[in-house]
Amino acid sequence: MRRLLFFLLVVAAALAALVKAGEYGIGPVVVTREDEQKLILLLGDPRERATEPGLALRLPFLEEVRTLDRRWLHLNSKPRLVQTIDRERIVVDNYVIWRIADPLQFYKSFPTGIEKAELQIDREVGGNLREVVGQHSIPQVLTEKRDEMMSEVTEKSAEALKRFGIEVRDVRINRTELPAGAEENVYARMRAERERLARKHRAEGEEQARTIRADADRRARVIVAEAREKAERLRGAGDAESARIYAAAYSRDPGFYEFVRSLEAYRKALGEGTTLVLPPDHEFFHTLREGGSDLVPSAAPPPAPPPVAAPAPAPALEAP
């Protein structure tokens, strides 16, 4: 019984030693962590697929183990000059979020290591970035269409790098700035563009102002014409009514009316400081000589004529 227990302890210790050695790539046991994926190479040729997290076996001295990262990786590129559609050169640097999606294909494409893969990713992403940025202006690159541009670069880069066993998750711009000496040219171009827009807006405003003034003048002329027409109708009705009242008043006592008109003529002609040289028997002094004794007594007043109705108003002109 003791020998069996001792034998089991020895076996357990040996297994533990093999597992521990496998963590360092020694022995027949291969230990794969959750953040790793390993390829077992038989005389330099990899197996069909990578190991899963856990334990695997290999032939010591005949099979070699290559460890690859399973996590998402971050690649930060160097600044590069990119020309926009408005022929301005800007300095752009970007970063890429990527991982090894197919370890077997990745190893076949880059057997020397991850450095070559990063160079390939940087070249591919840089080329797509130049192509996409070259189709847009500086304001679009900075704010207006930046997210849309980055999505296009990510899609093109992911499609191009898929054949290498690489999966691209995201491409983003770290910073965008002008190269030394180009700021003044860009500012001058921006000022010219803003001045052009200002002239355009002022011209549109002046055109709208002329249209509004012309419409207001036309409406004012219509309103004044309507007011004048209405005033003429009212004035005509007033004159007709006045004539009717005068006719009714004169017909009641013509003699008295003549006497009053004579006195009114004296009042206007013989004002203060007025000198008239006329013979005493002049017709002008007839009323003064007679004293109104020659006035003919008025007969019964005739019936007053009916009032004159005002003309019907014409239809008002409506301003369109």
What is the per-residue pLDDT across 134-160, written as a single tens digit (0 to 9) for each?
A: 888 888 887 778 889 899 999 999 999
Which of 82, 243, 108, 246 shows the shortest CA–CA distance to 177? 82
Rounded distance between C-alpha atoms, residue 132 and residue 10, angstroms: 65
Tell me the average pLDDT across 111-133.
91
SS3 273: coil
Tell me the average pLDDT across 4-16.
52
| pLDDT for 253 | 73
Highest mean pLDDT among 22-26, 78-82, 307-311: 78-82
Which of 138, 144, 171 shows the shortest CA–CA distance to 156? 171
- For residue 315, what are the contacts with CB-CB under 8 A and spacing of at least 6? none
- For residue 46, what are the contacts with CB-CB under 8 A and spacing of at least 6? 39, 40, 66, 104, 107, 108
pLDDT digits (tens, 9 = 90+) for 284-317: 666 666 665 555 554 444 554 555 444 444 444 4
φ, ψ dihedrals at 176, nearest 5°: -135, 125
pLDDT digits (tens, 9 = 90+) for 91-100: 888 999 999 8
Residue 153 near residue 127, CB atoms below 8 Å:
no
pLDDT digits (tens, 9 = 90+) for 186-216: 777 788 889 999 999 999 999 999 999 999 9
| pLDDT for 310 | 47
Higher-confidence residue of 161 and 268: namely 161
Q: What is the CATH number of domain 73-179?
A: 3.30.479.30
| pLDDT for 300 | 47
Strand partners, 208: none
CA R_g for the chain = 56
* Domain map (residue ranges) of the chain: 2-69, 73-179, 192-252, 253-297
Degrees to nearest 5, angle at CA 54 with 53 and 58: 105
Which of 178, 176, 189, 179 shows the shortest CA–CA distance to 144? 176
Rounded distance between C-alpha atoms, residue 126 and residue 92, angstroms: 10
Tell me the average pLDDT across 252-264.
75
φ, ψ dihedrals at 45, nearest 5°: -100, 130
Residue 134 near residue 84, CB atoms below 8 Å:
yes
Higher-confidence residue of 33 and 245: namely 245
Average pLDDT, the chain: 76
Confidence of residue 245 (pLDDT cuts 50, 70, 90): confident
Q: DSSP states of 107-128 as a string?
A: HHH-TT-HHHHHHHHHHHHHHH
Residue 82 near residue 92, CB atoms below 8 Å:
yes
